[in-house]
């Protein structure tokens, strides 16, 4: 009977994972941004603000995609705010500005005490913008021509004060393909997309790679000045706008924008350990989510084998039923992970590495919680000390 009970418990756990995945998929599909039909130009002006620090590898492709935006020719300007880049980013932007006069380069200047780099660059840009809409886009985003027009149209139609979009995440290296799908699934299990878009619910999440916000709502919420010390300034700003009564929406934009956040294990580790705790909420929840994911992933591999071994040793109907239930539960867990791989357009063979991906994600979750407990992080060559509210450049 022990094997039967174990199989039943495992099927229940697998079923809950499936329900969460189905809930998130349904909400995400319902909240996916599409190109505007029929295509029409936007009515309000928009300033695209691109904060950059050492983005030479990304900035040219990003600016080419922004210059190609349709329906906003006379109402769009692009402001690239350079946060003391040392790799030629500023020179590349100046060259792009010669080809497109709508692009201009602004220097962020030295980072003041108590600020993180990205909020400061965004704030400098926002202070110089005078259009109805402000659009903050990261340098690693490559936009389809209809992206901005579709985003503004959706925001106007739905009376949105702030709109955040999630581009398609390109995964190139082995480590990206191993860890990112597991991390995204863990994150999905800790939130409910339906409540994020519910004005009455306190839950919030945002993607700082694309934020479209009404200028009046932005400054009424304090802008990036109010979230200058936040690691996830996007989420903090969205929370302030939502609490202030402005409508916030988080929509998928996989068909209209693409990005590759990390290119190797080092950048992946630095980025995930910086953000994991902030996204999930606190250190304990982050560690708990990571460990739970690793346990479930290993159970999907080991539990059917262990119960099947028990059946061979003691062939009873209860043990056999438990083995079948264990196999069914594991099939569900592996199927959910393979669905995530399919979303990222990855080979399903990575499903065989399921336990290793979730174990690596758990290790990074624990490291993220530890770093936040220690009170400092390192990002883009700067070390931020939250206890003293200071930052310092590293060579």
- Outline where DSSP puts E strands in 92-184: 103-107, 133-137, 141-143, 162-166, 168-169
At residue 35's C-alpha, the angle toward residues 34 and 39, to 5°, is: 150
Per-residue pLDDT reduced to its tens digit, 281-328: 777 888 998 999 999 999 999 988 888 887 777 778 777 888 889 899
Q: How many CB atoms lie within 10 A of CB 299?
A: 20
Would you say 137 and 166 are in contact if contact means Cβ atoms under 8 Å apart? Answer: no
Q: What DSSP state is assigned to residue 111?
A: P
Is the pLDDT assigned to residue 151 strictly greater than 60? yes
Question: What pLDDT band is residue 36 in, cutting at 50, 70 and 90?
Answer: low
pLDDT of residue 89: 95
Mean of pLDDT values over 65-69: 94
**Predicted TM-score (pTM) of this structure:** 0.88
For 124, residues 6+ apart whose C-beta sits below 8 A from its C-beta are 81, 106, 108, 109
Give the distance, in angstroms, between the CA of residue 381 and the centroid of all CA atoms in the same chain: 21
| Cβ contacts of 244 within 8 Å, gap of 6 or more | 217, 220, 221
- Cα(340)–Cα(49) distance, integer angstroms: 32
Give the separation between CA 227 and CA 229, rounded to whole angstroms: 6
Kind of pairing, strands 168-169 and 257-259? parallel
Percentage with pLDDT > 90 across the chain: 57
**SS3 state at 77:** strand
From 306, 154, 157, 278, select the one nearest 207 (Cα to Cα).
278
Q: Are 247 and 161 in contact (CB under 8 A)?
A: yes
Domains of the chain, start order = 2-23+282-379 (no CATH), 29-175+192-262 (3.90.550.10)
pLDDT tens string 157-177: 899 999 999 999 999 999 999
């Amino acid at each position: 009977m022990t094997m039967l009970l174990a199989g039943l418990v495992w099927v229940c756990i697998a079923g809950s994972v499936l329900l969460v995945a189905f809930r998130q998929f349904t909400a995400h599909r319902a909240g996916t941004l599409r190109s505007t039909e029929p295509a029409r130009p936007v009515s309000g002006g928009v300033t695209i603000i691109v904060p950059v620090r050492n983005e030479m590898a990304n900035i040219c492709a990003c600016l080419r995609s922004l210059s190609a935006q349709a329906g906003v020719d006379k109402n769009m300007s692009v402001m690239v705010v350079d946060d003391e880049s040392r790799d030629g980013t500023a020179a590349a932007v100046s060259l792009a500005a010669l080809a497109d006069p709508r692009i201009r380069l602004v220097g962020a200047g030295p980072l003041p005490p108590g600020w993180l780099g990205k909020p400061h660059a965004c704030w400098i840009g926002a202070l110089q913008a005078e259009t109805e809409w402000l659009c903050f886009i990261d340098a690693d985003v490559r936009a389809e021509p209809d992206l901005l027009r579709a985003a503004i149209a959706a925001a106007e139609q739905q009376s949105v004060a702030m709109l955040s979009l999630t581009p398609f995440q390109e995964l190139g290296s082995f480590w990206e393909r191993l860890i990112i799908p597991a991390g995204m699934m863990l994150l999905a299990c800790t939130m409910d997309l339906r409540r994020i878009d519910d004005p009455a619910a306190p839950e919030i999440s945002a993607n700082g790679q694309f934020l479209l916000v009404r200028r009046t709502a932005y400054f009424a919420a304090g802008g990036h000045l109010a979230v200058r010390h936040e690691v996830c300034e996007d989420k903090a700003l969205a929370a302030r706008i939502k609490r202030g009564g402005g409508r916030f929406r988080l929509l998928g934009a996989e068909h209209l924008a693409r990005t590759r956040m990390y290119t190797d294990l080092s950048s992946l580790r630095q980025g995930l350990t910086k953000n994991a705790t902030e996204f999930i909420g606190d250190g304990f929840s982050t560690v708990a989510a990571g460990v739970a994911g690793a346990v479930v992933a290993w159970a999907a591999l080991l539990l059917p084998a262990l119960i099947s071994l028990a059946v061979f040793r003691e062939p009873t109907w209860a043990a056999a039923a438990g083995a079948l239930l264990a196999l069914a539960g594991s099939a569900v867990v592996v199927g959910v992970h393979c669905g995530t791989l399919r979303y990222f357009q990855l080979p399903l063979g990575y499903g065989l590495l399921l336990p290793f991906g979730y174990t690596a994600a758990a290790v990074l979750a624990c490291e993220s919680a530890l770093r936040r407990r220690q009170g400092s992080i390192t990002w883009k060559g700067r070390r931020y000390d939250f206890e003293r509210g200071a930052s310092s450049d590293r060579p």
